[in-house]
Structure 1
Amino acid sequence: MPPKVKGKGKGDSAAAKAMMGAAAAGPAPKPKKPPPPPACFSPEDLAKFKELYKEFDEDNTEKIPLSKIPVMLRKLGFNPKGAEIKELFKQFLEDEFVDTVEYHEWLFMIEAKMNWGDDFELAVTKAFADVGHDDEETGKVDLELLRQELMTWGEPLSEIEFTDWIRLAMKDKTYNPEDGSFNYVKFIENMNAKDEKYTQEPINFFKLDQKTLAAMAMKKAQEEREEQERKEAEKRAREEAKRQRMIAEGLIPTD
């Protein structure tokens, strides 16, 4: 009869079974590799995107807080709307509880935003031209006229908000106090170049709901044109009626 192994008990038996089970299950699964970057990006593009990503990865964790993504997209020249940001997070993050963005997710967000297009700056510029009555699209309007319109249309600006506007416009030299002109094209470019260090939402800080404002401005401009055409038609009709009376009275010859 073989001798009993000293010290062998229930605990050792359980540990042995656990080891056997682990061996049967095989090695632990390897971590997933991030997918390759979108094929549409050149090496130069990827270098630029990586540099921007590192700039915001302050703790070198290779993860960016969600709150930084809108600012990062604006630094690339985009103007993402709130709904677009939510859709990007929904599409490219693992679940709604994730609070950071990894580099490969960042790249796919850029690709998606490029495919969606970006009409924000164009729409705001058009709104400025319409509201400021810049019919020839010179890029400049009378600031006082613009102020009157913006305090009436859309979500009206308050006096204090417009005071802030003038302060910024004077600081970046887009407002000329000598002639009252306002270079709205340059102002939009400057505001879009700023990040959250200056304003939480460039342009929107001034309550410019660009599409609504542009639509309202164009509608108002159309109404003004129609009113002007109506007045001119009435004036021509009065002049013609007067001419016909003078012809009837023999005061002027017939044609």
Structure 2
Amino acid sequence: MPPKKGKDAKGGKAAAAKAATSGPPPKPKKIPPPPACFTTEDLARYKEIFRAHDEEGTEKLPLSVIPIMLRKLGFNPKGEEVQQLFVMFLEDDLVDTVEYHEWLFMIEAKLGWGDDFEVAVTKAMGDLAHDDEETGICDLEFLKEQLFNWGETLQEAEFVDWVRLAIKDKTYNVEDGTFNYVKFIENMNAKDERMVKEPINFFKLDQKTLAAMAMAKAQEEREEQERKEAERKAKEEAKRQKMILAGLLPPD
């Protein structure tokens, strides 16, 4: 049955009034051009990584995959760095997805911050392993012990991939337990997909954490040395006082 004329007319007037007060529909969001620093080859690579994670074809990705994507570009972002990128390039803290143009600007920002991860992590790992002569070789069990006890510590399950990959790329000699940590880091940063689908992120061990671990270790060792020295002096002084009381040494 067709609607009543009165009701239809009333509805039409209401719709017209609403349209008049609401104004024209909002303009679609203008997508900014990609950063000028990126070449055509760069953009093709970044788009390929974006599409590989856009499984539903929505042109939007969940926030959780951004750290993984950055690692595939050779970065090793800290959690707070990723959060800073979200603050800088997402509209507000309620947004739970990243669009392609936002992804590009996140890469540009990360490049601007710098990422000397390989150099810094190699130096810090050498410090932890007590590779004082900088040979690039250390005892894997000793390094494992350090990584399990310093900074944001590793767990046994997390270390399994270290051993598996180190054996596979021949940076770990099972017979004598030596570990070529310099070559291991180079291999992981090379992102050889035949060896691992994405570059290993060293399980929480970025350059700042490792540097902090190395500094904390050095500080603790200095404090331990100072404590032992103080104990040694205290014992010597106690012995000297006993000898004075026994008349074996002249008093001060």
TM-score w.r.t. length of structure 2: 0.71
Cα distance 1:87–1:163, how it changes in 2: closer, same or farther (>3 A)?
A: closer
Match 1:103 to one of 90, 100, 104: 100
Tell me which moved more, 96-105 or 145-154. 145-154
Q: Is the 8 A contact 1:127 1:217 kept in 2?
A: no
Q: Is the 8 A contact 2:35 2:104 kept in 1?
A: yes
**CA offsets 1:12-52 (integer angstroms, 9 cap, x no match):** 14404533663686642331121111111111111111111
Residue type of the alignment partner of 1:215: M
Cα distance in 1, alignment partners of residues 153 and 29 from structure 2 = 51
Residue type of the alignment partner of 2:38: F
Task: Indicate the residue corresponding to 1:117 in structure 2.
Answer: 114
CA-atom RMSD in angstroms: 3.6
C-alpha deviation, 1:173, in angstroms? 1.9
Tell me which moved more, 54-63 or 25-34. 25-34
Task: Indicate the residue corresponding to 1:172 in structure 2.
Answer: 169
C-alpha deviation, 1:158, in angstroms? 6.3
Q: Is the 8 A contact 2:34 2:104 kept in 1?
A: yes
SS of the aligned residue for 2:143 comes to: helix
**CA offsets 1:65-100 (integer angstroms, 9 cap, x no match):** 111100000000111100011111111112222221
Cα distance in 2, alignment partners of residues 198 and 189 from structure 1 = 16
Task: Indicate the residue corresponding to 2:201 in structure 1.
Answer: 202
Cα distance in 2, alignment partners of residues 104 and 65 from structure 1 = 14
Task: Indicate the residue corresponding to 2:46 in structure 1.
Answer: 49
C-alpha deviation, 1:164, in angstroms? 5.9
Task: Indicate the residue corresponding to 2:33 in structure 1.
Answer: 36
Identify unmatched segments of 5+ residues in structure 1. Answer: 1-6, 231-255
Task: Indicate the residue corresponding to 1:241 in structure 2.
Answer: none
Tell me which moved more, 129-138 or 149-158. 149-158
Residue type of the alignment partner of 2:88: Q
C-alpha deviation, 1:163, in angstroms? 6.1
Cα distance in 2, alignment partners of residues 144 and 25 from structure 1 = 70
2:85 aligned with 1:88, yes or no?
A: yes
Cα distance 1:14–1:95, how it changes in 2: closer, same or farther (>3 A)?
A: same
Cα distance 1:131–1:221, how it changes in 2: closer, same or farther (>3 A)?
A: farther
Cα distance 1:167–1:24, how it changes in 2: closer, same or farther (>3 A)?
A: closer
Residue type of the alignment partner of 1:213: M
Query: 5 Å matches for 1:156-167?
Result: 165-167=162-164
Residue type of the alignment partner of 2:111: M
Cα distance 1:16–1:221, how it changes in 2: closer, same or farther (>3 A)?
A: same
Q: Is the 8 A contact 1:93 1:105 kept in 2?
A: yes
Q: Is the 8 A contact 1:141 1:183 kept in 2?
A: yes
**CA offsets 1:151-174 (integer angstroms, 9 cap, x no match):** 554466666765664344223321
**CA offsets 1:179-235 (integer angstroms, 9 cap, x no match):** 43211123224445489x9899721257993122121344468789x99xx9xxxxx
Query: 5 Å matches for 1:201-220?
Result: 202-204=201-203, 209-219=209-219
Sequence identity of aligned pairs in percent?
Answer: 59
Task: Indicate the residue corresponding to 2:63 in structure 1.
Answer: 66
SS of the aligned residue for 2:179 comes to: strand
SS of the aligned residue for 2:81 comes to: helix
Q: Is the 8 A contact 1:141 1:182 kept in 2?
A: yes
Q: How many residues align?
A: 220
Identify unmatched segments of 5+ residues in structure 2. Answer: 230-252
Cα distance in 1, alignment partners of residues 171 and 177 from structure 2 = 10
Structure 1 or 2, whichever has the larger Rg, is 1
Tell me which moved more, 90-99 or 131-140. 131-140
TM-score w.r.t. length of structure 1: 0.70
Task: Indicate the residue corresponding to 1:181 in structure 2.
Answer: 178
